Amino acid sequence: MKSACIRLCHVQEVQPATTVRGRASWRWSAHDRLTAADAQCALPQLLKHTVAVKTLEDLFVHELSDIHSAERQITKALPRLARAAENPDLAAAFEAHLEETNGQIERLDQVVELLGIRLKRIKCAAMEGLVEEGKEVIDSVVKGPVRDAALIGGAQKVEHYEIAAYGTICALAKQLGYDDALDLLKQTLEEEKATDEKLTMLAESGGNQRAAEAG
């Protein structure tokens, strides 16, 4: 049993614990099936990486921490996307959204101050993946209309993630009676929706046509 624990901790093949109907469950790679007793042995290691969420307030703080991490990752990615775009309107849209994103982080900080909460030190894994996909696009598609079409698609995946995240956070804020925070969060939700629409417009008002002709 001890060797199984060491193997789990070192190669980290067990994914974080999830809760199904109040019971913890584990998954691990098919080539390394372990007994339930082995998994029990790994529980303290897994819990070290798990953020405790018990109440709706905890969930609100967790979601707020996650989107704060996501926004910070986006501020680092947007200048790279602007440089990678050929269409000046698309580059300008990325630059404009960078400014908006800085304002969105300020709003999140205002929410934190208003409610007197402390954010968790977590990294939004979804945004890490979406940013990585953006890098892959830049590496694999030469600068031009086809890359621009791919950048728009990638950016819209980011906006849709944010729209879903802020939608959830607004719903939680409403339920918890955080009215002032809700006003701030709604402003950001509207900005994300407007950015998504602007990107659709850039694709449909000539971007996709230029990409088709470039092939």
**Both structure tokens of 73:** 């990752």
Using CB atoms, what's the residue nearest to Fe ion? 124
- Residue 148 or 162: the one with the smaller Cβ distance to Fe ion is 162
Residues at the site binding Fe ion, with contacts judged by CB under 5 A:
66, 71, 101, 104, 124, 126, 162, 192
Torsion of CA 171, 172, 176, 181, to 10 degrees: -80
- Residue 32 or 190: the one with the smaller Cβ distance to Fe ion is 190
- Residue 148 or 192: the one with the smaller Cβ distance to Fe ion is 192
Q: How far is the CB of 134 from Fe ion (least distance, A)?
A: 13
Tell me if residue 177 falls in helix, strand or coil. Answer: coil
Query: Distance between CA atoms of 37 and 202, rounded to whole angstroms?
Result: 56
206 Rama sector, left if φ>0, alpha if ψ -120 to 50, beta otherwise: left
Q: How far is the CB of 177 from Fe ion (least distance, A)?
A: 25
- Residue 150 or 199: the one with the smaller Cβ distance to Fe ion is 199
Q: Is 157 exposed, middle or buried (0-12, 13-18, 19+ CB in 10 A)?
A: middle
**Both structure tokens of 133:** 């996909």
User: Count of residues for the chain?
Assistant: 215
Q: How far is the CB of 63 from Fe ion (least distance, A)?
A: 8
Q: How far is the CB of 214 from Fe ion (least distance, A)?
A: 27
Q: How far is the CB of 123 from Fe ion (least distance, A)?
A: 8
- Residue 70 or 146: the one with the smaller Cβ distance to Fe ion is 70
Q: How many CA atoms lie within 13 A of 96 on its CB side?
A: 13
